[in-house]
A and B are shown apart, each in its own frame.
Chain A
Amino acid sequence: MLLEKNVGGPPVVLAVEGVRKKIGRKWIIDNVTFDVKEGEIFGFLGPNGAGKTTTIRMLVDLIRPTEGTITVCGYNVNKHPEQALQFVGSIVENPEVYTYLTGWENLQHFARMQPGVDKARIAEVVDIVRLDQRIHDKVSTYSLGMRQRLGIAQALLGRPRLLILDEPTNGLDPKGIKELREFVRKLAGEGMAVFVSSHLLSEIQLLCDRVAIISRGKVLAVGGVNDLVARNSPYVLWELEPHSQAEALLGMHHGISVLPPDEVTLDDAVTAGMGPNSIVTVMEETLIPEVVSLMVGAGVTVRAVHKINPTLEQLFLKLTEGETID
């Protein structure tokens, strides 16, 4: 497992240390450790059923860990929930609010449950999520996107230092997703730590600074999104003719390794566009022009060259050894 050291830098808002959870006889969560720092957008990535939601529920004291500690701003969440949770705003799974109350009444309801939230603050968060037009309507008349925004308003009420969003893009249209992304960046820019879980790799890659990858209750890797991606050399796909001669030439070239087809850990969406005889190589992209002229010089026809940018998807498949993401 990859763990980076926290040397100086911004203060840690959320610290999760060696957390394990046993339900029945099964360890649902097996050793989860990571830190989230101030002003950082932290991604929590894993397929469905990997333990993301269980972990999030432990972060907000809905579930007690069997072992390990969770600390928010120095307070143990399970021992001092009253202190720790006042720094946390969260949406666990769907933004579930009272549908028989209006948006405003919902916010008032949650405002009464935390110190220092007055009417002006409620109006402020309504403004932030731009619900002011409909805030006095019953929530049962809201669209999913509006409920999502009300959920975020509710999470922001207490001016949290840590915002936890569980699969926040679920049910949002592309425009809503884009807005959400900008919104989360803005919050992080103001110093809030944001914890976002997702099963969508692209989402995390677009949004987050750092990421923890979880599968089957275990954190497989923690690190900067770019660092993790950089650990993977880029793939270059070649469509060359004649095939065997080209393969031999590539294999002989310094700095290029040809992957046998069964070792290729590429997403199907990428490989679908490949001809049946493509050769998958791992190489630096700076070598491409040199190799192309070499091929041409040797009389090999170059039909296509695809450079595939390294993605978390690749990394994920590598880490989980092919467990499907759905």
Chain B
Amino acid sequence: MINLLPLIRNECLKIIKKKRFYVILLILVVLVPMFTYAQMRISERSRDKFNSDWRLEIQQQITDNQNSLSSDRIPEEWKTYRRIFVQQLQYYLDHNVNPNEPSGVTFTREFLDNSVNLFIPLLIMAVASDLVSGERTTGTIKMLLTRPVRRWKVLLSKLVALLMFVSLIVLSVVIISYLISGLVFGYKGFNVPVFTGFQISGDTVDMSTVHAVPQWKYLLMQGGLIWFVSVVVALLAFMVSVLVRSTAASIVVMMAALIAGTILSNMASAWTTAKYLFMVNLGLTGYLAGTPAPIEGMTLTFSMAVLAVWGLISIIISFAVFTKRDILN
């Protein structure tokens, strides 16, 4: 019978010919220079202010944050966040390491931290959301499913193609942001040490497990985590595109879920069961940097487990529905 490879080739061909991947590259090529420029202005300003002495700058940040701790107008959660931040900055200062050493690699690292929650998932959705619903919107699903191929094979070929493009997108984000920001900040910085392993309990940071890793290694770890997040987002978007007939509806459903996630992350620290929702668990790279999790009790392992369960359930639902459902129109 028909094996999977030609089917996967078909699906990849369709994704490329639909120009979805080009659009994603275009978005990156347009947006990354904007972020790079913004970052450049920030570093220029601080250079003027602190005469290029990063120790002064960090010291100033520590003092600013400590001052704000005495204010009554700041909510308790924010104070916790700032206390942790102060301790981490102090650690960098004590070890004479500049956490913001300007370079293309540092920019990429920070850009990845900031884009894992919303930006990269949006790029993933551009491919994943119309993989099945797109075929239903145009009616080509009828042609696809009346060939002598089992339905699960058709769906699996789509899934494999999707995972390949997800990997490609994550890789493109890293490479494009490095190449473009490098023009401004230089292409060096792979061996700059970055501290990781901050253990946060309450508002104190346990420094005993902190260790320095070269920035290239840190970037690799980030990349792995972002790939994992992207795969789970892709699986969820894939399921929605199986369940919903129109691509527009499919995108809206996923967007709403993702945006709800960022809103919840900012306000749900009191509602602890929210930590089982996939959308508050997307910030995996925060665990590497030592950013406190949005909800008490979340750890890297916990978040990865939650995401894995959501991803697995999505796959099961996708296949169960797709292989059984009547194609009525």
Residue A96 at the B interface, CB < 8 A? yes
Given known A96-B138, A115-B1, contact A63–B327 (CB-CB < 8 A): yes
Question: Smallest distance from the beta carbon of A83 to chain B beta carbons, Å?
Answer: 7
Our pick among A54, A93, A96, A113 for the contact of B147 (Cβ within 8 Å) is: A113
Residue of A nearest to B326 (CB): A63
B7 within 8 A of A: yes
CB distance from B275 to the nearest CB of A (A): 39
**Residues in chain B near residue A96, CB distance under 8 A:** 138-140, 142-143
Residues on A with beta carbons closer than 8 Å to the beta carbon of B326: 23, 57, 62-64
If A64-B326, A85-B148, A110-B147 touch, whether A93 touches B139 (CB-CB below 8 Å) is: yes
Interface residue stretch chosen among A98-106, A123-131, A229-237, A250-258:
A98-106
Is A82 part of the contact surface with B, judged by Cβ < 8 Å? yes
Interface check B63, CB cutoff 8 A? no
Q: Is the CB of B147 within 8 A of A85?
A: yes
List chain A residues, Cβ under 8 A from B19.
100
B188 at the interface (CB under 8 A from A): no
Most chain B beta-carbon neighbours within 10 Å: one of A62, A85, A94, A97:
A62
User: Are A83 and B138 CB-contacts (below 8 A) given A96-B143, A100-B17?
Assistant: no
Interface pair B146/A82, CB less than 8 Å apart:
no
Tell me how many residue pairs across A and B have CB atoms closer than 8 Å. Answer: 90
Question: Is the CB–CB distance between A88 and B146 below 8 Å?
Answer: yes
- Asked, given contacts A64-B326, A105-B17, whether A154 binds B143 with beta carbons under 8 Å apart, the answer is yes
- Contacts A82-B149, A97-B140 given; indicate if A57 touches B327 (C-beta within 8 A): yes
Question: B6 in the interface, Cβ–Cβ < 8 Å?
Answer: yes
* CA gap between A268 and B246 in the complex, in Å: 42
Expressed in whole angstroms, the Cα–Cα distance for A105 and B7 within the complex equals 14
Residues B1-49 near A (CB distance < 8 A): 1-2, 6-7, 9-10, 13-14, 17-19
Find chain A residues with CB under 8 A from B148 CB: 81-86, 113-115, 158
Minimum CB–CB distance for B232 against chain A, Å: 29
What number of B residues sit within 8 Å (CB to CB) of A?
28
Which of B10, B140, B151 is within 8 Å of A113, CB to CB? B10
Contact A61 B139 (CB under 8 A): no
- B186 CB, nearest partner CB in chain A, Å: 41
Q: Is B145's CB within 8 Å of the partner chain A?
A: yes
Chain B neighbourhood of A100, CB < 8 A: 17-19
* A62 touching B327 in the complex, CB below 8 Å, given contacts A82-B149, A90-B146: yes
The distance in angstroms between the C-alpha atoms of A93 and B18, with both chains bound, is 24
16 A-B contacts (beta carbon < 8 Å): A23-B326, A57-B142, A60-B146, A61-B145, A62-B142, A63-B328, A92-B142, A96-B142, A98-B138, A109-B10, A112-B6, A112-B10, A113-B6, A113-B7, A115-B1, A115-B148
Closest 10 CB pairs of A and B: A96-B139, A112-B6, A86-B148, A113-B147, A85-B148, A62-B327, A63-B326, A60-B146, A92-B142, A96-B140
* B interface residues with partner A (beta carbon < 8 Å): 1-2, 6-7, 9-10, 13-14, 17-19, 138-140, 142-151, 324, 326-328
Given contacts A57-B326, A64-B324, A154-B143, 19 further A-B contacts (CB under 8 A): A60-B142, A60-B145, A61-B146, A62-B146, A63-B326, A63-B327, A88-B146, A93-B142, A98-B14, A99-B138, A100-B17, A100-B19, A105-B13, A110-B143, A110-B147, A113-B7, A113-B10, A114-B148, A115-B148
